[in-house]
Structure 1
Amino acid sequence: MATPCHNTGIQASLDCRSNSALISWTPGNGSLSFNATLQSLQDPQKHNCFTNGSSCNIGSLPCGQHYNICVTGYGQTCSTSSKALVTLDTAPCVPTQVNVSLSCGSDTASVSWAASSGLVSYYTVTAVDDNGRTLTSNSNRTSCDISGLSCGQAYNVSVTAMSVDCTGQRSEVRRISTAPCAPQSVVSQLLDCRTGDVQISWQSSKGAQIYYAQAKSTVKTLVCNSTSTSCIIPAICCGQTHNITVVAVANSCSSNTSVASQVTAEVHEELTRSWMSPFTARNWLGSSSSLTIMDGGATKVYMEITLVDQSVAIQLCPGTASIWQGKRSLPSRACKHLSVLTSSAYVACVEAASIIQAMALLQECHLWLCLANMKGVDNVQFLNAPMSQTVLFGNTVESFAQQFSDAQKQTEVI
């Protein structure tokens, strides 16, 4: 009997998902059955299939293998093997030891992995956020960076090895989270004019676990924190402009700083801290000429300007002002170390009334009383007189002069 002719036209196609190979050929004359064999130097096991037809399927092939294919034809008594060299490469193996690192505040993650077995053309790194947005990066090495990550997002990162014909299986997923987004629409509001408490509020940031708000002036920095969208910073510095910023934090990672806003404690806060009976920094500019009527005073719980001895005297010399009839009286001599306090008093009153007139009133009032060297009830009467924008002591001087005139006339009559 003649030996079967060689099988020709051998072809192999791979199903990359299942790593199964379909082998086909043109049977040689005299062949009654066939055996297709796949053999690799890295795989000690032979994979084969038997058939009476001209094709067969070999399944469950290992990943990353390079196989030589041989088809043997069997006659009645003899067999013959194919001569042509045909090869098949299975899909690359899954990348292992995937590591992802992400710096706080960065939009770029660094990814590395161990090389895959098999014929690998390149690797694809994929990052998918919880909304399905996908970012990819390709590399022919075992590391790469993936950029364009959004703030406040969690991503599933994986690596896939690619060959010319196949896409390998995806690696294990590594989950990362970017830094929270910077808080937006930061608003500051002075809650209590007397204490200087400021409420800071903002819009919620993606990915934030806690927020830190900061009020920074040239003097000091104050901070509050909150897991909601507002917090209160107590007692900001009087007369200082504070830059207000907020950062969001999650997993020890901070967001970018919010756009800065500003807040300034009004002057009445200083008056609250320094004067016995503080008054507002805004006086009435309407038809009334009296400094005892104030614009917006009711909203600050200040109904009238305090008397001269309770405001000017305490500010000029709070530590040594004498007590007279249960009240602090205006000192007749200036204190030695009160230039700062005196300046503060004048600045406060400058803001309280017209700039030049208010300072002139205070200075003239103090000088006039010191030079007059008045005593007893007369001095008390002037000290307790409210100041006026048109007349130094309002109607008190005229009334006082009239009293002296009346007293002189009575003396002459007697």
Structure 2
Amino acid sequence: MLKGGLYIMDAASIKQEYQDAFDVAPQSVFFSPGRINLIGEHTDYNGGHVFPCAITLGTYGAASPRTDTTVRLYSGNLPKDGVLTFDVNDLSFNKGFGWGNYPKGMLYELAKKGAKFDHGFDLYVHGNLPDGSGLSSSASLELLVGVIAKKLYNLEVEQMDLVYAGQQVENDYIGLNSGIMDQFAIGMGKKDQAMFLDVNTMKYEYYPVDLGDNVVLIMNSNKSHDLASSKYNERRSQCEEALRRIQQGVNVKTLGDLTKEQFDQATYLINDATLIRRARHAVFENQRTIDAKQALDDHDLKTFGHLVSASHISLQYDYEVSVPELDTLVDTAWAQDGVLGARIIGGGFGGCAIAIVSRDQVDHVKEVVGDTYLKRFGYAADFYVAEIADGTHEVTA
């Protein structure tokens, strides 16, 4: 069912879709959320802080064990792909296998941790995360498969084990040098709470999201991105090179260890304009995230909004991962009454931005930003008010 441009799903409808695909009813149904990040972008692989939360948009999955060793996959989002199959004893990467590499990769990483798979399963997935939106559809699928495998194979693994396995799928199996934030937010999410995470120590705290009379508005540019083929890996390698140069004169393990003042004094060690900009974003964004948490503690929503907007400027000019579509969404939102702040979210080069908007101004902001965007680019942006959800879990009809 469509509602507000989104496909609305529940356990009962996914069960029926599974039965339509495989001619039998599924054993179990699961849900894995997407995520947004209030602030703290590209800091997770630079040893900084992040401030994400899971959302009610995500991926449903229905599954049943098989008696043989075949795994059958079907996506309600990609029906033209038909049923993808592989043997649970052959978990090698196959570029031509498309989206099926994410479930296969999750089993591969769990097998490395000692999991034994003595039978296959059938899996039907259907998500309402917009394609290429930067809301972490791949991490959503990874954690979905992890939780399904935990149940079907009676695995004794903790949720954090699944989080780390999901990151390893991205890094080692798929080849995207991402950090831990997406899998962490999706696997460990709690309804109505964000997570303030220090990726250096993996210490975290749940934090009730109290924005007063404001909501988080997701603005989807509908410009798709593919992080694995974008300059995401290049940005990470640039930060690593900047860190290597800083370490020639400063005893730090990550860019997140540096204060803004320490970084300023160390820029002569980097001595490269591009590398300085990349590292400056990582250092300053980390501090912005810490300051944003403090602003919420102080109930200072104005300062929180300013920090959110400053994050976008840094991502646009220092990290250079924004695009005209995202800048248009953010710039237009900034000009509207009732908007505290706005910025790009996710890896960049497309996808979504968020705006912190007064609840009574949401419809106006959507109308003005949407009209401006359509006139400039010739196609529509989509808008959704974010609702914060629990992490990946089994659901009942």
Structure with more relative contact order (C-alpha pairs < 8 Å, separation 6 or more)? 2
TM-score, L = length of structure 2: 0.20
Larger fraction in helix: 2
- Relative to its length, the structure with more strand (as a share) is 1
